[in-house]
Amino acid sequence: MSEVVPPEDLSSAARLIKEHSGKVLAFTGAGVSAEAGIPTFRGKDGLWNRYRPEELATPRAFESNPKRVWEWYKWRMSIIARAEPTWAHKVMADWERKGVLMGVVTQNVDGLHQRAGSRLVIELHGSIWRTRCTVCGRRFDLGFGNIPEEDLPRCRECGGLLRPDVVWFEEPVPMDQFERAERLFSEAEVILIVGTSGVVMPAALLPINAARQGKILVEVNPEETNLSSLATIRLRGPAGEIFRELARLVEEDLSWR
């Protein structure tokens, strides 16, 4: 376990999770999958340090060069396809099965929460494992690990150009997903904020509003973030390690239920 995390913070977090069992919600970002080998967006090795989002992740980029955008997405798919869920993904899924965690609201498109066994996963930014037709709007599930072979995949219903069913810059977050997330946040008492820089709107509004409403925020992140000052407890370290330890501490006492 990282020596930087004071053990009393870990036990306070575990105590909160137990006390509020069934009313605990996770809000996750790219950092939860970092230990699985999937690059995050910001920070030293972040994707947006190496690539220009306006050339790869905007509707205009896709219109002007769909092949380049698909190539980049297929490269990311190939990394994700080889990745395994981390301890953080697995513990969240286990806690949901045990009725401790309500579910996960994620900004990630990688599908690792579902692969770990989480059932209630709200994907605010879509899924890299789904395509959408730019002409008829139909959506197609690819299934985890299935990368389209074509340079420019086409809709099997109308022949239109398919795009990754993810949210790009300048695009709105799907309203139905955001409203479902808001409902879950309103029912939750403790929010675990895991591996997100908290700078992308409107997603970051969810924890910000939760803090305004007096909910308890626990942050899991090796770095200080935009949301850190809102958190009651800040667990500084890699999510996988922290969740492994939290699971042990929460489990010790699951017999109390």
Contact positions vs ligand OAD (CB under 6 A)? 29-31, 34-35, 40-43, 46, 57, 107, 125, 167, 195-197, 200, 220-223, 225, 238-239
What is the closest distance, in whole angstroms, from the C-beta atom of residue 28 to ligand OAD in the complex? 8
Q: Which is nearer to ligand OAD, 24 or 47 (CB)?
A: 47
What is the closest distance, in whole angstroms, from the C-beta atom of residue 42 to ligand OAD in the complex? 4
Q: Which is nearer to ligand OAD, 133 or 173 (CB)?
A: 173
What is the closest distance, in whole angstroms, from the C-beta atom of residue 144 to ligand OAD in the complex? 18
CB 219 within 8 Å of CB 203: no
Q: Which is nearer to ligand OAD, 44 or 143 (CB)?
A: 44
| Cβ-based neighbours of 204, under 8 Å, separated by 6 or more | 196, 198, 226, 227
CA distance to 53, 57, 78, 209, per residue, from 49 (Å): 9, 14, 20, 29
Which amino acid makes up residue 109? V
Q: Which is nearer to ligand OAD, 41 or 70 (CB)?
A: 41
Q: Which residue is nearest to ligand OAD (CB)?
A: 31
What is the closest distance, in whole angstroms, from the C-beta atom of residue 198 to ligand OAD in the complex? 6
What is the closest distance, in whole angstroms, from the C-beta atom of residue 46 to ligand OAD in the complex? 5
Q: How many residues does the chain have?
A: 257
How is residue 152 written in tokens?
């420019």
Q: Is the peptide bond before 66 cis (omega within 30 degrees of 0)?
A: no
List beta partners, residue 217: 191
SS3 106: strand
What is the closest distance, in whole angstroms, from the C-beta atom of residue 125 to ligand OAD in the complex? 5
Rounded (10°) angle between helices 239-251 and 7-19: 60
Question: Which of the residues are catalytic?
Answer: 125
List beta partners, residue 126: 166
SS3 133: strand
Helix (H) or strand (E) holding 62: helix 59-64
Q: Which is nearer to ligand OAD, 19 or 71 (CB)?
A: 71
CB 170 within 8 Å of CB 59: yes
The rounded distance, in Å, linking the Cα atoms of 165 and 142 is 11
Q: Which is nearer to ligand OAD, 22 or 37 (CB)?
A: 37
How is residue 3 written in tokens?
């020596």
